[in-house]
């Protein structure tokens, strides 16, 4: 039931969220030569994020941070879990991908900052976690934040995780993917992608934006292929949504090159902040439902 009724909790949190925090995380992540799934940079970024999210979790016993080991490559995915209070069996997932790429020959010394693709998504999730923990937020449902390994090489990290959740019959009630949130290439602010996603959840997210971010303009588009990790969850029959920075034709032209930098998105994270706020509202509204 996509009821929107958490305004008292959400509205004050939205004003605490800051673009500068998102920008700093983008810089921290893109400081690695690259975050490719087989390089030391890719492993370093995973370990750095695990530590970063662990420090945000503080000493709370209902928050855990883990690294998901992938058998056939070194980069681990990072998962932070808010265990639900009285409806913990139902799970909400918010994801972004940790890895970066600059051409098929990416190796140890290849420069791939991946500031927009997808440090911007991981940084948006990080600002949500910071805000939720700062407000001692406790959801009724379990909420999992995921930074996937190996998205650029075939959505491989999210595919393994989504398959393992399906195999365990985990009741994931909804998934949101944030991949590329900081390049405002088109007229509208947030584009809801309609392929490999769920129509009724897309409507819910549209209503969240109208409720909590009423000045933002909403567009829709489609990729025409499985263009990010939401497709891994969709493939397992889970409801997914991917809000995206621009229309397909106007998306960031510098991705997958050494020029996908924070500076090339204006050295600010104002566009990402819209996505972080929308995704916080998604997490809190969906996380608020009882059994
Ligand atoms: N394929 C996607 C990039 C991508 C995704 C959606 C759109 I619209 C344009 C470009 C990718 O590289 N994800 O990491
Ligand atoms: Zn990419
Ligand atoms: Zn991406």
User: What is the atom index within ligand 1 of the atom nearest the CA of 228?
Assistant: 13
Write out the chain's pLDDT in tens, 291 residues.
Answer: 699 999 999 999 999 999 999 999 999 999 999 999 999 999 999 999 999 999 999 999 999 999 999 999 999 999 999 999 999 999 999 999 999 999 999 999 999 999 999 999 999 999 999 999 999 999 999 999 999 999 999 999 999 999 999 999 999 999 999 999 999 999 999 999 999 999 999 999 999 999 999 999 999 999 999 999 999 999 999 999 999 999 999 999 999 999 999 999 999 999 999 999 999 999 999 999 999
User: What is the atom index within ligand 1 of the atom nearest the CA of 225?
Assistant: 1
**Residue 52: which residues within 8 A CB-CB, separation 6 or more?**
25, 28, 126
Q: What is the pLDDT of residue 273?
A: 98
What is the distance in A from the centroid of ligand 3 to the CA of 151? 7
CA geometry: angle at 93 spanning 90 and 98, to 5°? Answer: 155
> 117 CB under 6 A from ligand 1?
yes
What is the distance in A from the centroid of ligand 3 to the CA of 140? 30
Nearest CA to ligand 1 atom 5: 227
Q: Give the active site residues.
A: 97, 117, 151-152, 179, 256
What is the distance in A from the centroid of ligand 3 to the CA of 141? 27
ipTM higher than threshold 0.90: yes
> 179 CB under 6 A from ligand 1?
yes
Q: Are 116 and 265 in contact (CB under 8 A)?
A: yes
> 228 CB under 6 A from ligand 1?
yes
Element (H, E) at 230: helix 230-235
Q: Are 183 and 274 in contact (CB under 8 A)?
A: no
Nearest CA to ligand 1 atom 13: 228
> 33 CB under 6 A from ligand 1?
no
Nearest CA to ligand 1 atom 12: 152
CA distances from 199 to 33, 36, 181, 220, 238 (A): 38, 33, 21, 12, 12
């Amino acid at each position: 039931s996509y009821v929107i009724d958490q305004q008292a909790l959400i509205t004050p949190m939205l004003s605490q969220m800051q673009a500068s925090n998102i920008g700093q995380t983008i810089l921290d992540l893109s400081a690695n030569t690259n975050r490719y799934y087989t390089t030391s940079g890719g492993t370093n970024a995973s370990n750095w994020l695990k530590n970063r999210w662990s420090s945000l979790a503080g000493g709370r016993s209902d928050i855990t941070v883990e690294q998901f080991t992938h058998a056939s490559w070194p980069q681990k995915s990072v998962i932070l879990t808010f265990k639900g209070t009285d409806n913990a069996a139902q799970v909400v997932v918010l994801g972004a991908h940790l890895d970066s790429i600059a051409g098929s020959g990416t190796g140890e010394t290849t420069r791939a900052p991946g500031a927009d693709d997808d440090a911007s998504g991981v940084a948006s999730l990080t600002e949500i976690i910071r805000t939720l923990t700062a407000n001692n937020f406790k959801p009724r449902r379990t909420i999992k934040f995921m930074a996937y390994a190996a998205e650029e090489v075939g959505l491989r990290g999210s595919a393994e995780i989504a398959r393992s959740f399906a195999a365990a019959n985990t009741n994931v009630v909804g998934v949101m993917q944030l991949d590329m949130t900081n390049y405002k290439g088109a007229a509208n602010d947030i584009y809801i992608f309609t392929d490999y996603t769920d129509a009724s959840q897309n409507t819910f997210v549209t209503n969240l934006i109208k409720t909590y971010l009423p000045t933002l303009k909403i567009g829709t588009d489609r990729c025409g292929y499985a263009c990010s990790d939401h497709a891994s969850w969709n493939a397992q029959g889970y409801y997914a949504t991917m809000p995206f920075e621009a229309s397909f034709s106007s998306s960031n032209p510098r991705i997958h090159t050494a020029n996908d930098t924070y500076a090339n998105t204006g050295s600010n994270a104002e566009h990402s902040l819209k996505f972080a706020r929308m995704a916080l509202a998604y997490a809190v509204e969906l996380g608020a439902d009882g059994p």
